[in-house]
Amino acid sequence: MRALCVVGTGLIGGSLLRAARAAGRECWGVAASDGTASAARADGFDVNTDLDAALRRAAEADALVLVAVPLPAVEGVLKRVDAVAPTVRMTDAVSVKVAVADAVATFAPRARYVGGHPMAGTAESGWAAGDGELFRGAAWVVIADDGADLDVWKDVAELAWACGSRVVPAAADEHDLAVARISHLPHLLAAVLATVGAGEPDDDLALALSASSFADGTRVAGTRPELTLAMCEGNRPALLAAVDEALGRLGVMRGALASTGGLKATVESGYLARQRWASTREPLALEVSLDGPDALAELRELGRRGDVVGGWK
């Protein structure tokens, strides 16, 4: 089992260290502050604040480096990678993938990098909120763009399995568009629905009459605003495309409602889409071949079919 060096020990990095240790892996981490490092050491983890030393140790041990810092902090980490461990095996847990791939190409171009996105989280943050079970049952996207190092791809997939996740291969740009549609857009529509539903500050009639359709449709509007903003604003180009599609469909619906009064097209399309969603809840875990020249294209195709990787020949 490959050793793991986790850079960043917040909710995601801290949970990864716990999950990796529980799976029997050698692992160490780099915290942003002495306080966090002390808290992690008090919990028995090998964590300090010396990034260069942790990266050198990763290079010597041929370990996998996992970057689990917020997007704005990625550039600084990559510059240290290029300086002290330039060809290290590397992945990340940032929730957008094109921006990180671009940063790697610019600041750590020799790193053996394969992007990742374990799709799990809570409303909490920080080392203390970490949970070794956080990733169990979650989708863990492993980026399969052309040119990806298949050796490192396997490292990331094996780590995801060790954490109890499902391995979903995808292209970086397709990942960003997908999460815009199914994660970021829901947060924005929930915010707008909550605002429209609440109406004027001195009139609570509508809220008093609201039942489960409104409660469910606005649930994620209750997420702490800074978390929603960081997630959505970091995926701006893809999110803009998703918002434009939603606006276009709402505009067509508005026109139909105003002219003929008919909502059939909108409602039936939504119903069929929800049926399709239900049919994706039990993905097939398939064994793949990672040897041929089309291995990465086949991985991406598997992800588009809604299947997951169960192993390889």
Near a copy of itself in 219-278, by CB under 8 A: 219-225, 228-229, 232-233, 236, 239-240, 242-247, 249-251, 253-254, 257-258, 261-264, 266-278
Q: Which of 188, 296, 299, 309 binds a copy of itself (CB under 8 A)?
A: 188
**Smallest distance, Å, CB 98 to a copy of itself?**
15
Q: What angle do CA 75, 91, 307 make, to 5 degrees?
A: 130
Are 274 and 300 a contacting pair, CB within 8 Å?
no
**Smallest distance, Å, CB 177 to a copy of itself?**
7
Q: Per the structure block, which two tokens stand in for 215?
A: 């409660």
Q: Which residue has the tokens 């039942």?
A: 211
Which CB atom, from 83 or from 257, has the smaller least distance to a copy of itself? 257
Show the binding pattern over residues 152-181: x = contacts a copy of itself (CB under 8 A), - = does not.
Answer: ----------------x-x---xx-xxx-x
Mention every residue, 6+ apart, whose C-beta is less than 8 A from residue 302: 169, 286, 288, 308, 309
**Smallest distance, Å, CB 231 to a copy of itself?**
10
CA-to-CA separations, 215 to 189, 218, 220, 246, in angstroms, rounded: 13, 6, 10, 21
Q: Is 149 helix (H, G, I), strand (E, B) or coil?
A: coil
110 lies in the site for a copy of itself, by CB under 8 A: no
Q: Is 87 helix (H, G, I), strand (E, B) or coil?
A: coil
Are 214 and 198 a contacting pair, CB within 8 Å?
no
Q: Per the structure block, which two tokens stand in for 305?
A: 């079919």
As a whole number of angstroms, the longest Cα–Cα distance in the chain is 70
Residues 111-140 that bind a copy of itself (CB under 8 A): 119, 138-139
Which CB atom, from 114 or from 188, has the smaller least distance to a copy of itself? 188
Which CB atom, from 154 or from 187, has the smaller least distance to a copy of itself? 187
Which CB atom, from 129 or from 253, has the smaller least distance to a copy of itself? 253
Kind and range of the H or E run holding 13: helix 11-22
**Smallest distance, Å, CB 91 to a copy of itself?**
17
**Smallest distance, Å, CB 16 to a copy of itself?**
18
d(CA 183, CA 96): 12
Which CB atom, from 199 or from 311, has the smaller least distance to a copy of itself? 199
d(CA 103, CA 70): 13
**Smallest distance, Å, CB 146 to a copy of itself?**
17
